[in-house]
Structure 1
């Protein structure tokens, strides 16, 4: 069946965007996973779970945007979108994401220290009084 041009253009754009979505998810996974070496079994399980989740999300995206019409050129366009994202935007997005995570961690740590500081002073003053008695 021959489809109108705007439907094919929509499928083309949605397939490339689903590849970009997979690339963004992959960068988020890499940043969260970190650089340290962990148990190979845990790494394998987490990688498999990541790719299952990513494939489900890409399928849902394609289902929502173009009724999950999948053919060989859709797979090629997903790969093209993923490859293009990884080559053009991945490094910058990873740096921004790491900075956001580090700043959020520092802010949360400062808030907790600020909340716990009066509690520690109170605890210290109570234990100091008990030692004098």
Structure 2
């Protein structure tokens, strides 16, 4: 039995959204992973990422279009990923790196400010032995 036109339209839209979600996840993974010199570790990280991305996309498609996994769904997911990587990824990735650097700087400052009083206390405790 053929699907209704509105259902087919929703299928296409949700497939495109799933592709964009996959592209965003890939950019986030790329920013977090960085460049690893250990080849086997990189392979394991890549496999784990694609398993997680597949689970997220499948869950998204399950809730939005009852997991109709036709060839058209895969085609539209690939088209959305390619469009995302070609048009948006560069901007998203650069802003993501800026945000990560900012958060890392805040964490580093907080840790230094928290550790400084502890160092003073440790020096005072160890200095009393004289």
**TM-score between both structures, scaled by the size of structure 2:** 0.92
- State the alpha-carbon separation in 1 of the partners of residues 42 and 115 from structure 2: 36
Following superposition, the deviation at residue 38 of structure 1 comes to 2.0
RMSD: 1.4
- 1:89-120 superposed Cα distances (whole Å, 9 cap, x missing partner): 11111112111111111111111111121222
Unpaired segments ≥5 residues, structure 1: none
Following superposition, the deviation at residue 53 of structure 1 comes to 1.2
Aligned residues: 130
**TM-score between both structures, scaled by the size of structure 1:** 0.90
Which stretches of structure 1, 4 residues or more, deviate above 4 A after TM superposition?
Answer: none
- State the alpha-carbon separation in 2 of the partners of residues 126 and 57 from structure 1: 52
Following superposition, the deviation at residue 2 of structure 1 comes to 2.3
Match of 1:120 in 2: 119
Q: Where do residues 1-133 of structure 1 align in structure 2 (5 Å cutoff)?
A: 1-35=1-35, 37-131=36-130
Q: Which has the larger radius of gyration?
A: 1
Following superposition, the deviation at residue 33 of structure 1 comes to 0.6
Unpaired segments ≥5 residues, structure 2: none
- State the alpha-carbon separation in 2 of the partners of residues 12 and 52 from structure 1: 23
